């Protein structure tokens, strides 16, 4: 019996698909809330280029630390600081040698109202607003950075009665976007794309006013034997991911 070439080609293609599917894995990732938009964009290319699937949860870095310490099934952790991953490393909770800085964050003072925030942040000193939104400084590194800025500008006491705290930077952003606060400290990545602020008005806070927001990633112990975990970390170090990260206002 003769087998037509087209049948052979179809069989080979099916075998290749089965092979690739067999090697595809899923990776559970804990992602700092400020990095939501970039990782969603990166995930599409990652899945297309590697075949692996990225399943992300978003929240505050401090809250994720508590969850990981209590056995949460995360395999990769993209934190909003470098101290929390370093602490997990000291506790032998990560794959040795996997920790690296994937982005350096930028803080912004933002209002959903165009023209409300000036380019030098003088609106803070005028103190005419009723509410100033920040993320919880105890669990969210961007919230901590916000308190450092207020302290540096000697505005801590003046603004204390007006502070509205979100559980994480996403909630801090939502307070402003919904009008519950006239302005707030957010991650630049939440309001920035391809070189410009996408809505409202903002002051990009000089890095000299707060400690560097170095954001580290690690492969957690639960991801030690998952090839998708290593593939994701490697992908984040590559040029395609770097281009996306920079487009949201981060430094590499």
Residue 19 has pLDDT above 60, yes or no: no
Q: What are residue 94's DSSP bridge partners?
A: 220
Residue 11 has pLDDT above 90, yes or no: no
Q: Are 182 and 172 in contact (CB under 8 A)?
A: no
183, burial (CB in 10 Å: exposed 0-12, middle 13-18, buried 19+)? buried
Mean pLDDT of the 69-79 span: 97
Angstrom distance (rounded) from CA 61 to CA 78: 8
Assign domain 25-104+213-247 to a CATH class: alpha beta
Output the average pLDDT for the chain: 91
The ranges assigned to domains in the chain are 25-104+213-247, 106-209
pLDDT in tens, 97-117: 999 999 999 999 999 999 999
pLDDT in tens, 177-229: 999 999 999 999 999 988 899 999 999 999 999 999 999 999 999 999 999 99
Q: Does domain 106-209 have CATH number 3.40.50.1110?
A: no
pLDDT in tens, 227-239: 999 999 999 999 9
Model pLDDT, residue 205: 97
φ, ψ dihedrals at 9, nearest 5°: -65, -45
The pTM for the full model equals 0.82
- 219: part of which helix (H) or strand (E)? strand 213-219
Angstrom distance (rounded) from CA 55 to CA 152: 39
Helices (H) and strands (E) in the chain, counts: 10, 12
Residue 8 has pLDDT above 60, yes or no: no
pLDDT in tens, 123-168: 999 999 999 999 999 989 999 999 999 999 999 999 999 999 999 9
Residues near 212 by beta carbon (within 8 Å), at least 6 away in sequence: 104
Query: How far is C-alpha 97 from the chain's CA centre?
Result: 21
- Please identify which residue in the block is written with the tokens 């492969």: 219
* CATH topology match: 25-104+213-247 vs 106-209: yes
- pLDDT band per the 50, 70, 90 thresholds, residue 23: low
């Amino acid at each position: 019996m003769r087998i037509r070439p087209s049948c052979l080609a179809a069989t080979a293609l099916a075998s290749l698909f089965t092979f690739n599917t067999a090697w595809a894995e899923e990776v559970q990732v804990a992602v700092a809330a400020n990095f939501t938009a970039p990782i969603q964009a990166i995930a599409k290319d990652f899945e297309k280029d590697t075949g692996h699937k990225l399943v992300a949860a978003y929240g505050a870095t401090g809250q994720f630390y508590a969850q990981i310490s209590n056995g949460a099934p995360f395999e990769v952790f993209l934190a909003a600081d470098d101290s929390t991953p370093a602490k997990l490393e000291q506790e032998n909770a990560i794959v040795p040698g996997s920790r690296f800085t994937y982005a350096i964050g930028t803080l912004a003072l933002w209002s959903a109202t165009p023209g409300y925030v000036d380019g030098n942040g003088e609106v803070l000193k005028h103190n005419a607003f009723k509410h100033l939104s920040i993320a919880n400084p105890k669990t969210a590194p961007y919230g901590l950075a916000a308190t450092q800025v207020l302290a540096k500008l000697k505005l801590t006491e003046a603004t204390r009665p007006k502070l509205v705290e979100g559980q994480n930077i996403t909630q801090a952003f939502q307070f402003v976007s919904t009008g519950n606060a006239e302005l707030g400290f957010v991650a630049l990545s939440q309001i920035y794309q391809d070189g410009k602020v996408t809505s409202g008005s903002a002051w990009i806070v000089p890095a000299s006013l707060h400690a560097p927001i170095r954001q580290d990633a690690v492969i957690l112990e639960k991801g030690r034997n998952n090839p998708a975990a290593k593939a994701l970390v490697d992908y984040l170090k590559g040029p395609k991911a770097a281009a996306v990260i920079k487009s949201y206002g981060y430094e590499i």
